[in-house]
């Protein structure tokens, strides 16, 4: 199948990788060639690790990469499916869905990897809301088994079945979810992360102490503050804002410390600094 993936960041790159690994032809798009190149370099590096670990042969690695076609410009595309994995901003996603509607065949399914933006709202700006759906992968995409499949109010049974079957074919576990703010994953995860940030903000404990409590006390693979850095603090704030506005309950208000970090450009791992310091400093090991 020919699939357009819009967004070559950590999510889009991971989605492109898992599709290509199953033999799909992936057209990978982003706002410029540098970002696409960066995304493909990340995929190549991860596949190299799989070769080193004996999970892939060098030839298989080459074949997977050959299935990914960098496409800085996309117009009138003959694709069966488009998966949007762009930055978590409503205005941007609305523009993209209008564009995808106009530049893909009428029968193409338009999916969004959004973590919290309404699928119903995205569908409403297209001519075919029955073919608009949420396909929410978890980070890191090649490792995590879950895909939330989100039905907008107008999403058809056929579109749902198509995306569910694709998720199964990618060796993922699809879970059907209705279109309400944060769906299930982020409705539950983000308030926990926000509460961990409040605990830090109020001086209850240090970054390391909060993460240790959750790792050793609750068996989470990463502490909530390390996980926030991994997701991106801008994305965490965007999701909290969607929960707060969409559900109208003050329990979802984003912590002022989270807002301050985002205002400072401390966005977590991708910017080199968040609750932890990721800047390469050989003498110091501040990674979680
Ligand atoms: N891409 C591909 N593979 C990766 C990877 C990546 N980015 N990061 C780690 N892996 C693989 C490694 O290759 C490794 O496999 P091998 O050892 O067999 O090679 C395996 O995962 C384990 O990695 P590590 O030993 O380096 O580290 P770890 O045991 O701590 O696992 C982790 C890393 C899988 C990320 C683990 O810490 C984890 O599960 N963390 C929680 C992840 C999570 O909660 N994700 C959901 C985020 S929320 C989200 O995505 C939704 C949203 O909308 C915000």
* Contact of 79 with 2, CB cutoff 8 Å: yes
User: Under a CB-based contact definition with an 8 Å cutoff, are residues 276 and 152 in contact?
Assistant: no
**Per-residue model confidence (pLDDT) at position 116:** 87
Does residue 144 lie in a domain region?
yes
How high is the pLDDT of residue 282? Answer: 64
Q: Are residues 140 and 104 in the same domain?
A: yes
**Looking at the structure, do residues 135 and 204 belong to the same domain, yes or no?**
no
Contact between residue 5 and residue 15 where contact means Cβ atoms under 8 Å apart: yes
Closest-CA residue to 39 (of 21, 50, 27, 51): 27
pTM, 2 dp: 0.92
Q: Please indicate whether residue 139, judged by its CB atom, sits closer than 6 Å to ligand 1.
A: yes
In terms of Cα–Cα distance, which of 39, 88, 40 is closest to 64? 40
**Tokens linked to 111:** 């999916």
What is residue 73's predicted lDDT score, i.e. its pLDDT?
87
One domain for residues 52 and 161: yes
Which of 143, 171, 185, 219 is the best mutation target for the ligand 1 pocket, counting ligand atoms within 8 Å of the beta carbon and taking the most? 143
Asked whether residue 133 falls in the same domain as residue 80, the answer is: yes
Compute the distance between CA of residue 78 and CA of residue 4 in angstroms, rounded to an integer: 9
- The conformation of residue 153, written as its DSSP 8-state character, comes to T
* pLDDT reported for residue 279: 85
Residue 18 and residue 87 in one domain: yes
Please indicate whether residue 54, judged by its CB atom, sits closer than 6 Å to ligand 1.
no
Is 191 inside any structural domain?
A: yes
Kindly give the distance from the C-alpha atom of residue 265 to the centroid of ligand 1, in angstroms, as a whole number.
24
285: pLDDT confidence band, cut at 50, 70 and 90? Answer: low
Residues 96 and 200 in one domain: no
pLDDT tens string 93-136? 999 999 999 999 999 999 999 998 999 999 999 999 999 999 99
Do 150 and 258 lie in a common domain?
no
Query: Do 79 and 23 reside in the same domain of the chain?
Result: yes
Final residue of a structural domain among 122, 149, 178: 178
Q: How many independent structural domains does the chain possess? A: 2
Same domain for 8 and 126, yes or no, is yes
Please indicate, yes or no, if residue 280 is contained in any of the structural domains: no
Q: Which range (49-53, 137-141, 186-190, 284-288) has the least confidence?
A: 284-288
Do 96 and 215 fall within a single domain? Answer: no
* Domain carrying residue 82: 2-178
CATH code assigned at 224: 1.10.1040.10
Chain-centroid distance of CA 253 in Å reads: 22
Distance CA(35)–CA(270), nearest Å, equals: 13
- pLDDT tens string 35-58: 999 999 999 999 999 999 999 999
């Amino acid at each position: 199948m020919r699939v357009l993936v819009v967004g070559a960041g950590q999510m889009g790159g991971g989605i492109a990788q898992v599709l290509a690994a199953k033999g799909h032809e992936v057209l990978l798009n982003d706002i410029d060639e540098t970002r696409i190149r960066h995304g493909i370099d990340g995929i190549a590096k991860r596949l190299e690790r799989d070769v080193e670990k004996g999970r892939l042969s060098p030839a298989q690695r080459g074949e997977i990469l050959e299935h990914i076609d960098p496409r800085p410009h996309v117009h009138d595309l003959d694709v069966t499916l488009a998966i949007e994995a762009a930055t978590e901003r409503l205005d941007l996603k609305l523009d993209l869905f209008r564009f995808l509607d106009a530049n893909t065949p009428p029968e193409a399914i338009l999916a969004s990897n959004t973590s919290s933006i309404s699928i119903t709202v995205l569908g409403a700006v297209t001519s075919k809301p029955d073919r608009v759906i949420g396909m929410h992968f978890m980070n890191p995409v090649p490792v995590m088994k879950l895909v939330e499949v989100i039905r907008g109010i107008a999403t058809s049974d056929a579109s749902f079945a198509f995306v569910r079957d694709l998720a199964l074919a990618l060796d993922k576990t699809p879970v059907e979810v209705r279109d309400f703010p944060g769906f299930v994953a982020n409705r539950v995860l983000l308030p926990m992360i926000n509460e961990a940030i409040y605990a830090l903000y109020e001086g209850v404990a240090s970054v390391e102490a909060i993460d240790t409590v959750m790792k050793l006390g609750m068996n989470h693979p990463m502490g909530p503050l390390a996980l926030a850095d991994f997701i991106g603090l801008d994305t965490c704030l965007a999701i909290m804002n969607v929960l707060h506005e969409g559900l109208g309950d003050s329990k979802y208000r984003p912590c002022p410390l989270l807002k301050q970090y985002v205002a400072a450009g401390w966005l977590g791992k991708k910017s080199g600094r968040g609750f932890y310091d990721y800047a390469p400093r050989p003498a110091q090991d501040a990674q979680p």
